[in-house]
Amino acid sequence: MVATGAPAALPRNPVLPGAQDFDALKAEGVALLQQLCGHWTDYNAHDPGVTLLELLSYALTDLGYRAALPIEDLLATVKPDGPTGLYPAWRALPSPPVTIVDFRRLLLDRVEGLANVWLTPRRAADAVPGLYDIRLHPVLPLPGVHPEGRHRYRDLVQRTRRAFLRHRPLCEDIGSIRVLRPLRTIVSAGLEIDTTARAEGVLAEALFRLALTLAPEPHRTGLDADDPASAFDGPLLRDGAIASDALADKPAVVDPEALADILRAIPGVLRVTDLRLWIEETGLCKGVCRVGADDYCSLDAGIESDALPLALSVGGRACPVDRGEVLRRLLRRWETHRARSPIKAASRAAFPLPRGRVRTLTALAPLGPQLPRVYGLAEPGRPDGPAAAQLAGFLGIFEGVMADFCARLGSIDTLVAGAIPPALSPVEREKLLDLLLALYGVAADCIPLPPRLRLRPAAAARYRVAIKQSLLDHRATFARRNGRGFDPAARSRTRRISGAELRGNLLLGEAPGRHARVCLIEHMMLRPRGRERRACEASRYRYAMAVSAAVALHEDERADAQYRAEVQAMLRAELPAHIGLHLHFVDPGRWRRLHDLRHLWRASLALDERHAADQLAVELRNLLERWSRRERGGA
């Protein structure tokens, strides 16, 4: 028997929104007519006044219906993955790297050929704060089978350096970067296995687990079905999520007993006997053996030797092993462990953007032809007489307002993309910009107002609108550059300056054709790079986690204490709380001198010309110190 569904029916007394309730709109119109011009109509259904009121009320219900359409329909024409469209999850949810774990994930994801990486902050009393020592563990084709030789990894070091500098936090940098030195390591033991176990499978699993314990390599996973958003906690990982527990510290010791426990945990292993650990430069370890900070243990499985270090036996008798099968199984095991799980494609399935129906939101039927033919407006644009032409002009007032409403409704897709209709007044534009900036999480409440605009409200409104529009246009850049320092080797201008400097210039009115006004210098980046300068300075200078900001102001702006205080509050809000701020208000000529000197210094850093970089850094430091002494003397 086929079950019948519920019959389709229209509700007898539907509850409608006010803008779609024809009866309520008509009643409100009648009340207004009685209040404003009570003698205009006799309120009978056939009266022309009531007919016009009903026509306008019906037209309003159409506008109310369009305005209440689902948001996915209103945005149906927006291209989801376009540069000006809606942001998919893989672009909206990630954030720039902040913690050491974030940077380890980022480097493992971006640098090909990197098996593992460790970042250690320098904590010595005389060390420059904010420096990290980076240690690299390169990928081996098949760990345990092809022990690493003394290869050179200059390209790996350079690619790691570039990946870090592209995302370098403000007042943080690389102290040193080195590839770990492999120490040939041999683990020998006797393994008693079960009669049902495959010897080749047991040996391959043993070699895999030992190599992974001595030299860990994080495993990548796809999106978590229960919590897919957790994959976007931190920087975007293109090749798969990496769990925090997979990013442990570099092994500092090797315990033979721990290795024996690992072998005992392998399925099919009954007993482990006579385990011995031999490490290059140390020899046979009789207990826990320490591993240097710049070294790691590289397993040598002895596959090509006459006798395998791991001897398998069944029931007390030696078990023959097919070494070719061991290699095949071991290779498959490592391929599975190193498999990539692309995040972008998976996120599109886990976080699908709703697809709406494309609506003709701007199409509007003329009101005249909807009246009875006796009104003389049956054909659009051809009234039958003077009275009909006068009525057409009267209805044209309402049609113009309705057409403007529909046009605004149809431009919601461009509004979301950041294009504000230019016909709006500055007050309306500013309200829309405030709404969009809040939706995108862009702060715009610290805009210093120049003194020349304080008594000119209209000009001040246009000034704020121009700045807020510029902030909205750079919203995607802010998401990437928030809290970042400058990248001297970057091609893009927005990466060659810090995120704080970029926002500071925009908040002070930088635009096409208008020069920048903020120049930011990170103190710790002025540290000595070459041996000669390090020996010359010794410990005379302290390069702290602070910045010097030079702001170019005109004479009237420098003389205005309120404006200077607003600029200082704005720049302080753009910097992390742990970074100090030294502010200098200078004339355009002195600002240009600092800017040009900084440009040469950054170019020398990009070319890795350490001697030139040190000379220019000393000039920058001396210039900033002279400004500080002059300002203290003037105060």
571-592 pLDDT tens trace = 999 999 999 999 999 999 999 9
Same domain, 523 and 581: yes
Contact indicator for 215, 115 with CB cutoff of 8 Å: yes
Residues 539 and 390 in one domain: no
**2 within a domain of the structure (yes/no):** no
Asked if residue 330 and residue 185 are part of one domain, the reply reads: yes
316 and 375, same domain (yes or no): no
pLDDT of amino acid 375: 83
Confidence of residue 423 (pLDDT cuts 50, 70, 90): confident
Residue whose token pair is 């054709």: 513
Residues 225, 146 within the same domain: yes
Asked whether residue 263 falls in the same domain as residue 393, the answer is: no
Number of independent structural domains in the chain: 4
- The fraction of the chain above a pLDDT of 90, given in percent, is 61
Residue 542 has pLDDT above 50, yes or no: yes
In a domain, 354, yes or no: no
Stretch 283-302: mean pLDDT: 94
How far apart (Å, rounded) are the C-alpha atoms in residues 404 and 63? 11
pLDDT (0 to 100) of residue 93: 86
Say how far apart CA 87 and CA 69 lie, in whole Å: 21
Q: Kindly report, residue by residue over 481-515, the tens digit of the pLDDT.
A: 999 999 999 988 889 999 999 999 999 988 665 67
Q: Which of 528, 517, 529 is nearest to 448 (CA)?
A: 517
Q: Please indicate, yes or no, whether residues 142 and 199 belong to a single structural domain of this protein.
A: yes
Is-contact 377 392, C-beta < 8 A? Answer: yes
Give yes or no for a contact between 277 and 187, defined as CB atoms under 8 angstroms apart: yes
Domain-embedded: residue 286:
yes
- How far apart CA 588 and CA 570 sit, in angstroms, is 20
Cα torsion 125, 126, 130, 133 to 10°: value is -90
* Domain ranges, residue 439: 418-466
pLDDT per position as a tens digit, 314-356: 988 999 999 999 999 999 999 999 999 999 888 888 888 888 8
Which range (281-295, 506-520, 581-595) has the least confidence? 506-520
**Confidence (pTM):** 0.86
375 and 246 co-located in one domain: no
Q: Do the domain assignments include residue 77? A: no
- Integer angstrom CA distances of residue 337 from 119, 216, 344, 617: 23, 11, 20, 46
For residues 48 and 589, the model is more confident at 589
Give the residue with greater pLDDT, 149 vs 423.
423
Mean pLDDT over all residues of the chain?
A: 89
Are the CB atoms for 193 and 204 separated by under 8 Å? no
Q: What is the predicted pLDDT for the residue at 362? A: 87
Domain boundary among 466, 482, 498: 466
**413 located within any domain:** no
Pick the last residue of a domain from 466, 484, 499: 466
| The pLDDT of residue 1 | 45
Do residues 437 and 305 share a domain? Answer: no
Assess if residue 264 is contained within a domain. Answer: yes
> Which pLDDT band, with edges at 50, 70 and 90, does 442 fall under?
very high
188-211 per-position pLDDT tens digit: 999 999 999 999 999 999 999 999
User: Are 263 and 166 within one domain?
Assistant: yes
Same domain, 177 and 255: yes
pLDDT of residue 4: 59
Residues 314 and 398 in one domain: no
